[in-house]
Structure 1
Amino acid sequence: MMQRLIHILWPSFVVAGVADILFTTLFDPLEIVYRGEPLIEHRIAAYTIGFFVFWLLCISSSMLTCYFQRGANEINRCPLPPPKRPAGCPKREGEGDCC
């Protein structure tokens, strides 16, 4: 579990850092306005907020990649052992060996 978390967070951190550097190089955060007013008053606050927004976007991308890499057996596997599965479950022992 910890390794999967590292596989998600570390690459997304690096990409968010690069994205933040590129974005703040191309755009001055103080020139981003909403209804004629600057959206953020201090550059360092804009850099920090921008980094965390980029990091959240990259985390969601990495999480979706990990989710879609799972196979059908891993997704459809029942976590309960056969005797403890609820009544009517098609994969329960002794109740119709259809699966």
Structure 2
Amino acid sequence: MLGQRVMWVLWPAFLVAGLLEVLVFGLVDPQDLSWFGHPLAVSREAVYTIGFFLFWGLTILSSALTTMLSMSPFEVNRCPVPENQRPADCAKTACCR
């Protein structure tokens, strides 16, 4: 289930990052960008790459937050330890699996 959730986060984030890359750099020339008043000393390709990974990271955070908030209370509170190996003070019961 974890692998499936990871793909629910990474794949849409990848697609949105690609779309943002096209939209932003379709309107902005990387050579026109400056950092604290100084022109960037990197190539266009480097700016495209850094921009893509920045967009991807931000959309990963957004998708991960959405996935986390969509979990039911039973998923969040379920005890990962098998019932016969749980400590005596574990209040989580088998009904919540």
Q: For this structure pair, what is the TM-score category when the shorter chain's length is used for normalisation?
A: 0.7 to 0.9
1:54 to 1:91, Cα distance in 2 relative to 1, 3 A = closer
Show the counterpart of 1:9.
Answer: 10
Structure 1 position 32 matched with structure 2 position 7: no
Residues in 1 aligned to 2:25 and 2:79: alpha-carbon distance in whole angstroms: 47
Larger Rg: 1
Query: Structure 1 residues 74, 19: closer, same or farther in 2, change over 3 A?
Result: same
**Post-superposition shift, 1:71?**
0.1
> What count of residue pairs does the alignment treat as equivalent?
92
Could you tell me which amino acid in structure 2 is paired with residue 70 of structure 1? M
After superposition, residues 35-46 of structure 1 pair within 5 angstroms as 35-46=36-47
The CA RMSD over aligned residues, in Å, is: 1.8
- CA shift for structure 1 position 91: 4.0
What stretches of structure 2 of length at least 5 have no aligned partner? none
Cα shift at 1:40: 4.2
Amino acid at match of 1:80: V
Q: Which has the higher helix share?
A: 2
* Residue number in structure 2 paired with 1:79: 80
| Residue 90 (structure 1) shift | 3.1
Unaligned runs of 5+ in 1: 93-99
By relative contact order (CA 8 Å, sep 6+), the higher-ranking structure is 2
Q: Distance in 2 between matches of 1:48 and 1:62?
A: 21
TM-score (normalizing by structure 1) = 0.80
Asked if the contact 1:32/1:39 (under 8 Å) is kept, the reply is yes
